[in-house]
């Protein structure tokens, strides 16, 4: 059995970002925090924290941290947790959901003690973190559950390929079937293949020039500024479309991306409540 006070010392350092603040939170001395972590590491035979500034958990440290939080949630759900204990929900989500409909689902007034620790990851990374037990749930486009997990279908996030009117005037060449491939294309990062897939489908071509813009709001603003064309969630671009700041590059060619909520079979009540909220809000906003 793991020695939980040692794990709590590690968790406090990770969450507060320093040994000093961890000691304050736990009401022990800084050297006691240090000793507990060393003891944990000597028992496990591996480091759990990198002594950087701020200290970072190792892969093992992250797993232990997540495990501790899940145990604490289980304790709470059987009425044994400390009442003032924070319930930290570690979830990994896709950037466009966080920028649009997801926050409405995260608002859970019946659970005021919930704290979120959200990370934004590409699908492959998100599912890997789920497999490694580093997160408690993952929102992504993959339907395939991880071992010991389930995936619940939420709906389709509808994208439209958009650009500014000036941009289209500059680059549209109706006589050239692959004109869009010649125009600068926005991509979120190198793993984002949405634009590539769209071009292959509609113009049998690859984008010749891409801009990497890894921020949802920045992506929208770069499209409005005429820096490139790109696929944007309809939810996010609605106002810019209505105001005529953006138009579809090819008429009525939406791309629908399915979204799934990945969760563990051993789901705590709070995570079940969150999943329920996500499913309800998704039903309202997704296609």
- Kindly list the residues in this chain that would bind its own copies in the complex (CB under 8 A): 17, 21, 54, 86, 95, 98-100, 102-104, 106-107, 109, 112, 115-120, 184, 190-191, 206, 209-218, 221-222, 224-227, 236
Choose between 221 and 238: whose C-beta lies nearer to its own copies.
221
Choose between 150 and 158: whose C-beta lies nearer to its own copies.
158
Choose between 1 and 27: whose C-beta lies nearer to its own copies.
27
Closest CB 166 distance from its own copies, rounded Å: 9
Closest CB 16 distance from its own copies, rounded Å: 9
Closest CB 3 distance from its own copies, rounded Å: 25
Closest CB 265 distance from its own copies, rounded Å: 26
Choose between 44 and 273: whose C-beta lies nearer to its own copies.
273
Q: Give the tokens for residue 259.
A: 């979204």
Contact yes or no for 188/95 (Cβ under 8 A): yes
Choose between 41 and 121: whose C-beta lies nearer to its own copies.
121
Closest CB 144 distance from its own copies, rounded Å: 17
Closest CB 266 distance from its own copies, rounded Å: 24
Choose between 176 and 190: whose C-beta lies nearer to its own copies.
190
């Amino acid at each position: 059995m793991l020695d939980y006070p040692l794990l709590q010392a590690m968790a406090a350092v990770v969450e507060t970002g320093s040994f000093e603040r961890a000691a304050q939170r736990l009401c022990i001395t800084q050297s006691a925090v240090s000793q507990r972590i060393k003891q944990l590491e000597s028992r496990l035979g591996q480091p759990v924290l990198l002594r950087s500034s701020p200290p970072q958990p190792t892969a093992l440290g992250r797993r232990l941290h997540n495990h501790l939080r899940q145990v604490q949630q289980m304790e709470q759900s059987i009425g044994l947790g400390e009442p003032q204990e924070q319930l930290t929900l570690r979830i990994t989500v896709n950037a466009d959901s966080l920028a649009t409909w997801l926050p409405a689902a995260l608002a859970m007034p019946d659970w005021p003690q919930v704290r979120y620790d959200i990370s934004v990851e590409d699908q492959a990374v998100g599912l890997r973190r789920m497999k490694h037990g580093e997160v408690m749930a993952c929102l992504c486009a993959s339907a395939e559950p991880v071992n010991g997990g389930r995936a619940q279908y939420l709906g389709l996030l509808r994208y439209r390929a958009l650009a500014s009117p000036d941009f289209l005037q500059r680059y549209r060449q109706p006589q050239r079937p692959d004109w869009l491939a010649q125009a600068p294309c926005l991509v979120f990062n190198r793993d984002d293949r949405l634009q590539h897939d769209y071009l292959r489908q509609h113009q049998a071509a690859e984008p010749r020039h891409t801009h990497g813009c890894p921020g949802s709001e920045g992506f929208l603003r770069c499209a409005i500024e005429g820096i490139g064309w790109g696929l944007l969630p309809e939810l996010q671009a609605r106002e810019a479309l209505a105001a005529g700041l953006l138009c579809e590059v090819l008429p009525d060619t939406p791309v629908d991306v399915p979204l799934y909520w990945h969760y563990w079979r051993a789901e705590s009540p709070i995570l079940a409540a969150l999943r329920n909220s996500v499913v309800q809000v998704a039903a309202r906003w997704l296609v």
